Structure 1
């Protein structure tokens, strides 16, 4: 039987003794236990922050899953360029641009749709920049913290617990085993305790690094909202100009065209190829209706970027 197998068996016996019979193991100092508690909470918070920050940047779980799959496939194929998350501002902007272009430049509402659509696309680009900024300056440093510093501390604590169990097992058998084995167990226990304690102390003393990372997150969010606000303010000015222009434009009178006059105007030799067209009745002038639509856009863009997204 190998030494490792014997040691593992001894540790299992000691652990079961403590769990089942309630035997007490060697107690560590309160300061040590408090540091251990803070490390555990920090580790949990980092894992949760990584998940929740990704959800904050990319709220649609279906789009997020699809994006991860596409980027994984790109890596497998050796493609450098990755697919970006479909920002909601960009999707809304594309919708507005499509219908604005279909309505044409002679439509006030169509021109306003194009204005807002282009602004939404700009906001989508700003949101992409936010994603990149937060990933580089917040998510990646936190991930590195989890993969290196916290992982190393966890390793030291697990090793300490194993040596503590070994020491308690041999201490209870004092007189039945050589004193040298107990002395070695004490030395290893002390060595592991010092390593774990030092690593936790250094980590907690330098937690200003995590504050710097939080500051980077807030700066990125602030920059995003400031740029979005500038885009919306410029857009609001454009729409106000369109409303003023529509208000000062002379109104056109509706002149109905009867089918009878259209038929009479046709050349007699084209009588067999007559085509009939109907005209819709209008209850108001086009410029007034379009002006109302643009006014509604102005009311929307006057809101903050966050409220605007919630309403849309």
Structure 2
């Protein structure tokens, strides 16, 4: 371990902490960035904020189950394929199909259950395809934007703030060194002119480091606006996937209505069952509750 380097880093951290504290209490000056830079920074923060909200909203709509969302994210991190799980519509349709088989395809109700169950399963497959397309064309690109471009910008902005604290700390040291210059130096004390020269050299280096980091950060911030063209393409892909989903779903339902129209339905049988008179049997004798002769 390089103790000298470690001590130097600790000293820099302390200097920055002191500078930050003095700025907060108003006893130290702070270098302000220009208005254009601040505008770019605000736009980047806004882009990150709304992209995060849209991602959360899209995921909650496409994958309502939070557990499934976490599972899918884990599989993406380890670069494995997402689990090919059935949708709720497919489970619903499967129950209908099983019930229809149990009641018998020869009965009207059983036949209808088989037809509706099959349609629900097809709807579930259409829904799964839509979710897959939306995730690949909209969610994944936006998440990549947050995890690459925005994460890099956040890192560089943090580094710029560090360089800014170093710069302002150097300015403070130079002001103190100049205030000592011209005063009578004590014996064995460091010549104030030497302190001023050293402070000026430190300031020049800190200013160069700050300017270079500000330019790097500014270039990254300017790239955020240009990324909106790609985001517009992702949005169009989402709309196309959703349009296809509703179109296919509508076709499935229209076809189902035609199939159900061929299923025989006898309203009189239902009415006869609904209007049936309650009958009790006592000692092998049936008693009609609505008969006038009933006790």
Q: Say which of 44, 49, 66 aligns to 1:61.
A: 66
Q: Say which of 18, 26, 31 aligns to 1:26.
A: 31
Q: Where does the alignment leave 5 or more consecutive residues of structure 2 unmatched?
A: 178-194, 267-295
**Larger Rg computed on CA atoms:** 2
Contact 1:63 1:85 in 2 (8 A): no
Contact 2:105 2:114 in 1 (8 A): no
| Structure 1 pair 106–224 and aligned structure 2 pair: CA distance change class (3 A) | same
Which residue does 1:167 correspond to in 2? 167
**Structure 2: distance between partners of 1:223 and 1:126:** 9
* 3-state secondary structure, aligned to 2:90: helix
Which residue does 2:224 correspond to in 1? 203
Which residue does 1:273 correspond to in 2? none
Asked if residue 10 in structure 1 is aligned to residue 15 in structure 2, the reply is yes
Instruction: Give the superposed CA RMSD.
Output: 2.7
Which residue does 1:303 correspond to in 2? none
**Structure 2: distance between partners of 1:91 and 1:24:** 66
**TM-score under structure 2 length normalisation:** 0.74
**Structure 1: distance between partners of 2:66 and 2:202:** 56
Which residue does 1:114 correspond to in 2? 114
Q: Say which of 229, 233, 251 aligns to 1:230.
A: 251
Matches within 5 A, 1:291-310: none
Deviation, structure 1 residue 44? 2.2
**Structure 2: distance between partners of 1:206 and 1:40:** 14
* 3-state secondary structure, aligned to 2:40: helix
Which residue does 1:254 correspond to in 2? none
Which residue does 2:274 correspond to in 1? none
Matches within 5 A, 1:90-109: 90-109=90-109
**Structure 2: distance between partners of 1:64 and 1:150:** 22
**Structure 2: distance between partners of 1:27 and 1:149:** 24
**Structure 2: distance between partners of 1:23 and 1:205:** 37
Q: Deviations over 1:272-304 (max 9, x none)?
A: xxxxxxxxxxxxxxxxxxxxxxxxxxxxxxxxx
Deviation, structure 1 residue 63? 5.3
Which residue does 2:281 correspond to in 1? none
Asked if residue 126 in structure 1 is aligned to residue 126 in structure 2, the reply is yes
**Structure 2: distance between partners of 1:81 and 1:47:** 23
**Structure 2: distance between partners of 1:82 and 1:204:** 32
Asked if residue 52 in structure 1 is aligned to residue 64 in structure 2, the reply is no
Contact 2:29 2:168 in 1 (8 A): no
Which residue does 1:37 correspond to in 2? 42
Which residue does 1:252 correspond to in 2? none
After alignment, is 98-107 or 14-23 more displaced? 14-23
Deviation, structure 1 residue 68? 5.1
Q: Where does the alignment leave 5 or more consecutive residues of structure 1 unmatched?
A: 248-312
Deviation, structure 1 residue 64? 4.7
**Structure 2: distance between partners of 1:172 and 1:185:** 12
**Structure 2: distance between partners of 1:170 and 1:81:** 53
**Structure 2: distance between partners of 1:22 and 1:125:** 66
Aligned residue-pair number: 242
**Structure 2: distance between partners of 1:92 and 1:219:** 27
**Structure 2: distance between partners of 1:116 and 1:161:** 62
**TM-score under structure 1 length normalisation:** 0.70
